[in-house]
Amino acid sequence: MTRPERAAVPPLRHIVALGGGGFSMEPANLLLDDYVLALTGKPRPRVLFVPTASGDSPGYVERFLAAFPAARADASWLGLFNRDDGDLRARVLAQDVVYVGGGNTANLLVVWRLHGLDVILREAWEKGVVLAGVSAGALCWFEGGTTDSFGPALAPLRDGLAFLAGSFSPHYDGEVRRRATHHAAILAGLPDGLAADDGAAIHFVGTRVHEAVASGPNAKAYRLDRRGDGVSETALPTRFLGGGAPHRARDVEA
């Protein structure tokens, strides 16, 4: 008797949104980056750095390569301003992690869409490539958020990739006007959403929050919801990666 074939189990889809931190902000504290690498389950994962938001800053690329040496990862970077890669799709889909750097979120979105990278990244996510990023590299995955892309003053951004629902604010405790500006934007129509301090990250499995983690004991992540003429701010349980009680996975969606 022929046994029926089992349906293939779809891979888990991971996104890690860093409010701040990682190699670019905490070069002596790589707990958040280690967390991202561990999601691959590989001792030496393939990690592709995408520094579009910084205009492919050479210094940024150098810092990435220094933080991800050969013993830690098979690291490379993707340039779009002086593009020398003919097959973006094959390059991206061959990775275990795509790590997006900070900078100008609005410019990042324009350039990605021009090159079709937005579509490729969605395919990569659905195939199980871990997507991660800091600041602009975290905001881009949401419907929108607050950004300094349009000048020194923070302003709403409403045309993110929308892999994840709602809005996002990085640097929630690291910039004086970030919290107030994001609350005001929600009251003016920006979707409810999430925020992360510098040194905190929110890990999504599928499109739901799996857990919040931090590279320091005081960094937090938050849920933001409009309530009448105000915004309700609820701190999420945030696991300090440097120690503390074992975490319990929660609210997981494949």
| Cβ-Cβ contacts under 8 Å for 110 (sequence gap 6 or more) | none
Catalytic residue status for 171: yes
Burial class (CB in 10 A: 0-12, 13-18, 19+), 218: exposed
Degrees (nearest 5) of the Cα angle 166, 155, 212? 40
Rounded Cα distance, 134 and 155, in Å: 18
Catalytic residue status for 232: no
Pairing, β 97-100 against β 142-147 = unpaired
Pure H helices in the chain = 31-38, 58-67, 88-93, 105-115, 117-126, 136-139, 178-187
Rounded Cα distance, 37 and 71, in Å: 13
Which amino acid belongs to residue 178?
Answer: R
Rounded Cα distance, 195 and 200, in Å: 9
| DSSP structural state of residue 253 | -
- Please tell me which residue in 135, 149, 169, 215 is annotated as part of the active site: 135
- Please tell me which residue in 171, 183, 203, 210 is annotated as part of the active site: 171
Residues noted as catalytic: 135, 171
